A and B are shown apart, each in its own frame.
Chain A
């Protein structure tokens, strides 16, 4: 049986754009890990073309597709403009529909997708996790070698950040000073459950820069995780619901229509890139196509919007060295690299340092780290080492997944050097230590927030 059916197979014309030059290889995290062609973009494209040529969707072929993090570094690197993003998305949904997975694998995927896209369920998980952390069980798990037996469980455990108090944001936040724009704000699943501080900071920064911020409570998952995993119909359902959330209901004192929004602001890179693709995702849905495209056109990453608007709120000095990590779905997915750096550089006394191999993914990649714990651990540690090598005091990035992933890796490096107790992680105010080297972690929004509010550096860790 041929690998693909007629429902959106990877397109031959896009495959043929690949001239086999290999320029994408060094930026691919799986090639960096294993040095094997079939786990490189060029190799995966080759496998797709084999599939079109009649080769079956074998276990090994699926494995190589599954191992792709979807980080899209290869899209940035490719001089021939190969649309690997489209190719892998088409391939993934074929795999999900057509490839029977082993039971264990299916169960794991089902569990993950029953949990992550649902902020409420994630929030429920907070209780047990907090108890678990407080009880010192975490250290016990580490010592008993649970990691060896249940890598995914161990990975989930290691990723879970130290939790801070939940924050409930109002549905409408008025601008400070004259109104410059009306913006909707996406709170995200993981972001709102685990990093409520980031959302609070985002809202404050927006308001300080003259935005009226609208945060509909009815919003759910944007579908990013599903779309990246090839669960296309699930993703479409999420997308429709989100479009509805931003175009209806009574928000505070006004009715919301998506046309009222100048922008829809996103502070999580993965969500941003998938929202920007709603137009394509729902192109063949007559009821939603037009609204999806219109909404996509208004989506901005927080840093993108702030640079577009230009600053009005004065920045206070923040004397700290910062290493900025490019989240894949921001840098490769949305091409947003310069804006966050410019915003950070504009903060007085803040020194920005570059991390080696900035294009390389940290290994978080949505839920990839849960499905591929061991390689994710290696990528995370590689990134953590490069981050620590900058000597910066604070690591800043714009994606909750990256923050959790790198924090966990920094913590592991720390325990590897005999210091396992000081590692703790929450979005802000965290400081993970590695044998004397400590680094704090923060979202771009939090750094800007601290500078605008004139908070001390300590507030960031």
Chain B
């Protein structure tokens, strides 16, 4: 997919806007060179590409607000971008719009361990928060596999999760305040250092809104005390069924591990090729189970977990002796997505959720889908909370494979919906899954969600075209307005 070129009228509008933005940010921080713009044409999901009209780099919240105000005044859409690692095309630019990159807003403004809070700019990298807090004995719990590069602003927008979210929750449970630029260009604080700010929980609505409700310019996050003890084991099973049964047994026993991660044989092969993680040979599936917390609790539960793994058919169990070995266990898991590139020229990373108890059934069905479509599917997932990441492997150069992979990938989402799950557990809807939303939600459900959008962004300038398959016309009471809305006439929107 490539962007259509700009229309003549929008070109002049952009020219005027560019001049305006240069007075705000200086010439260096407004980019209009075609080749430079093109390096921003996609995020972590490279199959969607649109070249933005302008790219800008604000350094402060005030600059960010000024940029948005200028866009609003000119009626030009804008899209926020952090590190561009999103896997749903959330940061895909708008051809006639401005891409607002927060990568240069990367100061940690305050570390307040006594308040269990850190205040950061949106471009700060997830892992840096933990690195900064570690000397004081704290860390930032949400740990997406991309944590060494994804930005906190992007995490907030996507409500990112990670392996340890099973016990600790997602970004939304760890953000207590944001300062945002509304689509009108106003700076507003939602929440703060203390919990339960009076009024509607707009913070809760903002987290996970994928940049469609405005831009976060400052984020207050919770810091969590580093656990006293961390124990990690790697258990190898013959089949994913057995590993799934072990997972259920652990949860059923009332243990809440920090993480339970599963990889199937193909995913293990990829990880071995990339990082030589040396997982047990011949495993049809491995589980990584990590417990953390107070020493006595962890020791007692760790014994139970080990036994439950054995009871459910683990043929080899390795217990990490030190941080280095733990890191090696995780290395294979954390690099698995990108590592698949070593065993297949092309692949699609899928992200869906099912009830954990449906794991064995769903994995079997995924196997059938792979066979039907003639593609290989590797499975890497957060087994503890049923978040699947099937990796559909294909070769773009081979005839028809891409289409079959795409079809298989879509079939997996249908499967998730069939089992009462979700079409995305952490990567977001973005541009990629907007078309799947009507399969998970009714028109009324989507319309109701869009009421929030209408409250924040009635003109639909903030990251348009994402999340919702069809934009709602705001401020129109259905059936009452006369004549068609211009968007409707243009075939861009429907009225619910």
Q: Which residues of A contact B (CB under 8 A)?
A: 16-17, 19-23, 25-26, 34-38, 42-43, 46-47, 50, 55, 58, 60-61, 64, 78-81, 356
Contacts and interface: CB of A to CB of B under 8 A. Distances in A.
Given A55-B35, A80-B338, A23 B146 contact: yes
Contact of B46 (A20, A26, A37, A80): A20
A19 B346 CA distance: 9
Interface in B117-158: 123, 125, 127, 131, 146, 148-150
B463 interface: no
A424 B341 CA distance: 49
A149 B362 CA distance: 68
Given A58-B35, A60-B35, A356-B131, 20 more contacts: A16-B345, A21-B44, A21-B337, A22-B149, A23-B149, A26-B127, A26-B149, A35-B104, A36-B101, A37-B84, A38-B35, A38-B39, A42-B39, A43-B39, A46-B39, A55-B38, A60-B36, A79-B275, A79-B339, A81-B342
A457 to B, nearest CB: 28
A26 B146 CA distance: 11
**Most chain A CB atoms below 10 A, which of B35, B125, B335, B345:** B35
Nearest to B102: A35
B123 A81 contact: no
A79 B123 contact: no
Nearest to B99: A37
B399 to A, nearest CB: 18
Nearest to B271: A79
B146 A46 contact: no
A80 B342 contact: yes
Contacts of A55: 34-35, 38
Interface string B80-104: 0001110000000000000001011
B274 interface: yes
Given A35-B103, A79-B274, A21 B39 contact: no
Given A26-B125, A60-B33, A37 B39 contact: yes
Contacts of A37: 39-40, 84, 101
B81 to A, nearest CB: 9
B274 A81 contact: yes
Contact of B85 (A21, A38, A46): A21
B57 A23 contact: no
Which secondary structure dominates chain B's binding surface? loop
B106 interface: yes
B43 interface: yes
B339 A22 contact: no
Contacts of A50: 35, 38
14 contacts: A17-B341, A21-B146, A22-B84, A36-B101, A37-B39, A38-B39, A43-B39, A58-B33, A60-B36, A61-B35, A79-B274, A79-B275, A79-B341, A80-B339
Contacts of B190: none
Nearest to A32: B106
B260 to A, nearest CB: 22
Contacts of B36: 38, 60, 64
A78 B274 CA distance: 9
A23 B148 contact: yes
B42 interface: yes
A87 to B, nearest CB: 15
Contacts of B149: 22-23, 25-26
A60 B40 CA distance: 15
A451 to B, nearest CB: 26
Contacts of A16: 345
Contacts of B125: 26
A21 B38 CA distance: 16
Interface string B40-57: 101111100000000001
Given A20-B43, A22-B44, A22-B84, A80 B341 contact: yes
Contacts of B335: 79
A46 B342 contact: no
Contacts of A42: 39
Contacts of A47: 35, 39
A20 B42 contact: yes
Contacts of B345: 16
A36 B85 contact: no
A88 to B, nearest CB: 16
A43 B123 CA distance: 18
Contacts of B39: 37-38, 42-43, 46-47
B38 A22 contact: no
B93 to A, nearest CB: 12
Contacts of A25: 83, 149
Nearest to A19: B341
A38 B127 CA distance: 23
Contact of A21 (B33, B34, B40, B338): B338
Contact of A19 (B40, B46, B104, B148): B46
Contacts of B34: 55
A381 B344 CA distance: 42
A58 B40 CA distance: 17
B57 A35 contact: yes
Contacts of A64: 36
Interface in B308-362: 335, 337-339, 341-342, 345
